[in-house]
Chains A and B, each alone.
Chain A
Amino acid sequence: MSNTIGALIVAAAAGWVGAAALAFAASRSAGIRLCASVSGLGGLAAVVAGVLLAVHGGGTTILLGEGPVGAARFTVAPLAAPIIALLGAVAASNGLYAPRYHQASTGTALYLAVYNMALLSSLAVLVAGNVVAFLVAWETMALTCYLMILRHHERPGVSQAAFLFLALSEIGFVLIVLAFAILASQTGSLDFTTIAARAHMVPDGWRATAYVLALIGFGFKAGLVPLHIWLPAAHPVAPADGSAFLSGLIIKLGVYGIALFGFRLLAGGPAWWGLLTMGLGAITAVLGILYALMERDLKRFLAYSSIENVGVIITALGAGMTFIAYGQPAIGTFLLIAGLYHTVNHGIYKTLLFQEAGVIEHAAGTRDMDRLGGLIHRLPRTAVIVLIGTLAIAALPPLNGFVSEWMLFQGLFQGFRISDHTAGILIVVAGAMIALTGGLALNAFARAYGIPFLGMPRSRTAGAAAETGQPVAASGLLACVCVFLGVGAPLVLTALDRVARSATGRDIHSQLLVAKLTVIPAHTNFSGFSPTYLAVFLICMTLIPVLIWKAGRPRANTRRVPVWDSGIVSFKARMQYTATTHANPVGVTFQSLYQPTIHMERGSDDPAGRSGPVHYRYAVTPIFDRYLYHPTLRLIRAIARLARPIQSGDVNLYLLYLFIVVLIVYVIYAT
């Protein structure tokens, strides 16, 4: 079995290398189809590999021994299994999407080559077995993603967004290197298995430092607040399948890094690690969705929603670590399963939504929600698929988002089982914050679906949208996967339980699934529900009234009349809600958080009443830019200004520096 898994992973990797090579034939559309098909097949191989790895999550497999690049070792650990499967699903879906989305050109060829290398390096990150392999793969992934974002570099704002991505990725990388360096030097080995085995010997101070550095370093990639500012800039400017890949997978690599450190390499630590992680996750979730509600651009909105979901995942992981630290390993494992499950779920539906955002942009000509409308009539199949994705991400039953968030809440609500009351209260507070996030997410996605799809088109291009030639199969496939992951949750949970067992050493299968179809949160008398039965129940609830109505149709005449419109002469598109007004209640409630800049000017101040045109401008700039990044940048520039005299450009001064340094070294080694 381990050989099969190994073979499949090699096949996936080979597929993506091949696709990268074939990408250079993508100057013609047939080339795109070929490249995308190979990439998709590689994705399928990865999916199967991930699923098999999760199900047979036993030992690890060694793929390559000592390679030519120093000591690069690749082993496949079960903790990476869900994300490998997710990577495969995203790659397969993008393989179906790309031929209908991209125009054949040299730019596309380069983009597809870089994209497939990004897929390959992501896979390498997930199967890396030692520090060097991990770091090399990580940097490659970051650089290839940077090049992906630069696809449309001629457009305004793209190079800045890509630079922001790279800069913050590199800062995170420095911290990750430091964390690995601490662990490697303290345990004396570069291999993950050895580090994990020897981690308990490392002094507490070093372990804590390593964990915090890893949390912040990987947090840059995952998108934790306030390290997230590259996300809303970079995700919208990439092509749709690139954004899908970034949001669906790359930020999960940050989550994987945190899980790697928390659960595998350091194998748990004091409770404050978990509480810190959980707190950061909860804050990220709330702030992410609050800023999402203020966005008019569909893709920026989805980017902020990704930040919110990463917050939810990190909260699950952190709470899991807390429970384990306080001697409740069953609930801790349950929360880890919930976190991994949400990772997979979010990857699937966020990929779907970003792909469809690309379809909408192509069909309707704009991403601005305030210029869209009525797309449900013009893009019917897209509307159905986006509806499934929206219901999933808003965590409505019986879809997958509901199951994973239900699990998270059930885990958090059991905070009272912890003996330390402070920690229990903090966990419940985190639960309350995630509940707030859930409510705001429902509002946000009702807005994100209702404004573009329902009502009347708010611009001519939206009115002219057509569905012909748009990619449908890719997202349709993902929608089916969403339904499967929701209704077939017991199967998924069985697999994830095996994954979690390898991470925490505890198998809670009997405390997770009762009678094969009911999920319980690690305790029999707390709560429980069955996703499968719920799905059947909901279908019946919908069908039975319809059947009753059809059978006993009333005899009275029916008449078809226009919608009652209060007797106005005719409906105009401007009479509808806009995305901005829909979110206004939240904007006013959280005004002190948003600190919007409001600017109003009139033509004149005529007291008789006619003051000419009034211009009203309402803008929300995230507080992190204003209060964290700009002051930090100012500080760095100030320090640089102070240090400038050192680089005077005078060669004699530089020779003096050399002389002084040699003198110091001589003095040190002489004593």
Chain B
Amino acid sequence: MPDNRAATQQATARLAEELGRQTFAIFDRSLHIRTVDTGSCAVCESEIRLLSAPHYDLHRLGFFFTPSPRHADLLLVTGPAVRAADNLLLKTYEATPDPKVVIAVGACALGGVYEENQLIHGTVDRVVPVDVSVPGCPPSPLALLQGLLIAVGRLQDKVDALSFDLDNESVS
């Protein structure tokens, strides 16, 4: 009995993940990205801006920036979710039609450097649900590209398999 239930749970989990990947896979040929700054130092924005430069050229992958969230499929959120930007972030999130993907970009958005206090939330996922996290301060445009490709299911995460323990390579 317990075996069956465990097996069913595993199968359901795998199915859910597959479904999530398929939902995001509809974006894989053409994705419109809108950036939201919730109080960052703008260095993440510089790296994001570099994505449309010739060296990284995100247009070759079918990704485009759009100024209007109504045309966006994906939100790139930077900054430690300053409380004064709640209205902005929530309105942008609601204006983006479903299905949408939210990527939290940078150490600030993932909770680093600034702790939660009366001015900031600290992490973006306390305000809107986050689908992909891209660490870095700032993340290189290559890391951003990896994050975007993971979001649309063209790449698999590889950080899961890394342990960062050089004396023990298996994942804990």
| Cβ-based interface call for A547 (8 A) | no
Bound-state CA distance A569–B84 (Å) is: 10
A561 near B95: Cβ-Cβ < 8 Å: yes
From B85-93, B132-140, B142-150, the one touching the partner chain is B85-93
Interface residues of A (CB under 8 A from B): 559, 561, 564-565, 567, 569
Bound-state CA distance A559–B94 (Å) is: 11
Bound-state CA distance A257–B134 (Å) is: 80
B87 near A567: Cβ-Cβ < 8 Å: yes
A580 to chain B, nearest CB (A): 28
| Cβ-based interface call for B29 (8 A) | no
Bound-state CA distance A559–B92 (Å) is: 15
> Which of B87, B89, B95 makes the CB contact (< 8 A) with A564?
B95
Chain A residue at minimum C-beta to C-beta distance from B71: A564
Bound-state CA distance A567–B87 (Å) is: 7
Interface residues of B (CB under 8 A from A): 68-70, 87-89, 91-92, 94-95, 97
B53 to chain A, nearest CB (A): 26
Bound-state CA distance A565–B88 (Å) is: 10
B64 to chain A, nearest CB (A): 18
In the assembled complex, 11 residue pairs joining A and B whose CB atoms fall closer than 8 Å, in A order, are A559-B97, A561-B95, A564-B69, A564-B70, A564-B95, A565-B91, A567-B87, A567-B88, A567-B89, A567-B92, A569-B87
**In the complex, which residues of chain B have a beta carbon less than 8 angstroms from the beta carbon of A559?**
97
**In the complex, which residues of chain A have a beta carbon less than 8 angstroms from the beta carbon of B94?**
561
A413 to chain B, nearest CB (A): 43
A559 to chain B, nearest CB (A): 8
Bound-state CA distance A567–B128 (Å) is: 15
Bound-state CA distance A564–B96 (Å) is: 10
**In the complex, which residues of chain A have a beta carbon less than 8 angstroms from the beta carbon of B95?**
561, 564
**In the complex, which residues of chain A have a beta carbon less than 8 angstroms from the beta carbon of B68?**
564
Bound-state CA distance A561–B92 (Å) is: 12
Bound-state CA distance A564–B69 (Å) is: 8
8 new A-B contacts, CB < 8 A, other than A561-B94, A567-B89, are A559-B97, A561-B95, A564-B69, A564-B95, A565-B91, A567-B87, A567-B88, A567-B92
B60 to chain A, nearest CB (A): 29
Most buried by B among A565, A567, A569: A567
A-B contact count (CB 8 A): 14
Task: Report, nearest first, the 3 A-B pairs whose CB atoms are least far apart.
Answer: A567-B88, A567-B91, A564-B95
**In the complex, which residues of chain B have a beta carbon less than 8 angstroms from the beta carbon of A567?**
87-89, 91-92
Bound-state CA distance A565–B68 (Å) is: 10
**In the complex, which residues of chain A have a beta carbon less than 8 angstroms from the beta carbon of B97?**
559
Chain B residue at minimum C-beta to C-beta distance from A569: B87
Chain B residue at minimum C-beta to C-beta distance from A570: B87
**In the complex, which residues of chain A have a beta carbon less than 8 angstroms from the beta carbon of B70?**
564
B77 to chain A, nearest CB (A): 13
Bound-state CA distance A565–B69 (Å) is: 10
**In the complex, which residues of chain B have a beta carbon less than 8 angstroms from the beta carbon of A565?**
91
Bound-state CA distance A559–B97 (Å) is: 9
Bound-state CA distance A428–B91 (Å) is: 55
Chain B residue at minimum C-beta to C-beta distance from A559: B97
**In the complex, which residues of chain A have a beta carbon less than 8 angstroms from the beta carbon of B87?**
567, 569
Chain A residue at minimum C-beta to C-beta distance from B92: A567
Bound-state CA distance A335–B69 (Å) is: 54
Bound-state CA distance A565–B95 (Å) is: 10
A213 to chain B, nearest CB (A): 63
Bound-state CA distance A157–B93 (Å) is: 56
**In the complex, which residues of chain B have a beta carbon less than 8 angstroms from the beta carbon of A561?**
94-95
B21 to chain A, nearest CB (A): 22
A575 to chain B, nearest CB (A): 16
B151 to chain A, nearest CB (A): 22
Chain A residue at minimum C-beta to C-beta distance from B69: A564
**In the complex, which residues of chain B have a beta carbon less than 8 angstroms from the beta carbon of A564?**
68-70, 95
Chain A residue at minimum C-beta to C-beta distance from B84: A569
B67 to chain A, nearest CB (A): 9
Chain B residue at minimum C-beta to C-beta distance from A556: B97
**In the complex, which residues of chain B have a beta carbon less than 8 angstroms from the beta carbon of A569?**
87
Bound-state CA distance A565–B94 (Å) is: 12
Bound-state CA distance A150–B65 (Å) is: 62
Bound-state CA distance A207–B56 (Å) is: 80
Chain A residue at minimum C-beta to C-beta distance from B70: A564
Bound-state CA distance A564–B97 (Å) is: 12
A570 to chain B, nearest CB (A): 9
B94 to chain A, nearest CB (A): 7
A624 to chain B, nearest CB (A): 46
Chain A residue at minimum C-beta to C-beta distance from B85: A567
Bound-state CA distance A590–B88 (Å) is: 40
**In the complex, which residues of chain A have a beta carbon less than 8 angstroms from the beta carbon of B92?**
567
Most buried by A among B88, B91, B94, B97: B91
Bound-state CA distance A561–B68 (Å) is: 14
Bound-state CA distance A254–B92 (Å) is: 60
Bound-state CA distance A561–B94 (Å) is: 9
Bound-state CA distance A638–B87 (Å) is: 69
Bound-state CA distance A171–B135 (Å) is: 83
**In the complex, which residues of chain A have a beta carbon less than 8 angstroms from the beta carbon of B69?**
564
Chain A residue at minimum C-beta to C-beta distance from B88: A567
Chain A residue at minimum C-beta to C-beta distance from B67: A566
A564 to chain B, nearest CB (A): 5
Bound-state CA distance A564–B34 (Å) is: 14
Bound-state CA distance A471–B104 (Å) is: 59
A571 to chain B, nearest CB (A): 12
B75 to chain A, nearest CB (A): 12
**In the complex, which residues of chain A have a beta carbon less than 8 angstroms from the beta carbon of B88?**
567
Bound-state CA distance A561–B70 (Å) is: 11
B29 to chain A, nearest CB (A): 20
A562 to chain B, nearest CB (A): 9
Chain A residue at minimum C-beta to C-beta distance from B68: A564
Bound-state CA distance A565–B92 (Å) is: 9
B73 to chain A, nearest CB (A): 15
Bound-state CA distance A564–B68 (Å) is: 8
Chain A residue at minimum C-beta to C-beta distance from B97: A559
Bound-state CA distance A567–B35 (Å) is: 13
Most buried by A among B69, B70, B87, B95: B95
Chain B residue at minimum C-beta to C-beta distance from A567: B88
B82 to chain A, nearest CB (A): 13
B61 to chain A, nearest CB (A): 27
Bound-state CA distance A561–B97 (Å) is: 10
Bound-state CA distance A561–B91 (Å) is: 11
A124 to chain B, nearest CB (A): 63
B116 to chain A, nearest CB (A): 22
Bound-state CA distance A559–B68 (Å) is: 17
B30 to chain A, nearest CB (A): 18
Bound-state CA distance A561–B95 (Å) is: 8
Chain B residue at minimum C-beta to C-beta distance from A565: B91
B127 to chain A, nearest CB (A): 13
A231 to chain B, nearest CB (A): 46
B41 to chain A, nearest CB (A): 20
Bound-state CA distance A561–B96 (Å) is: 11
Bound-state CA distance A561–B93 (Å) is: 12
B68 to chain A, nearest CB (A): 6
B76 to chain A, nearest CB (A): 15
Bound-state CA distance A485–B91 (Å) is: 49
Bound-state CA distance A526–B88 (Å) is: 58
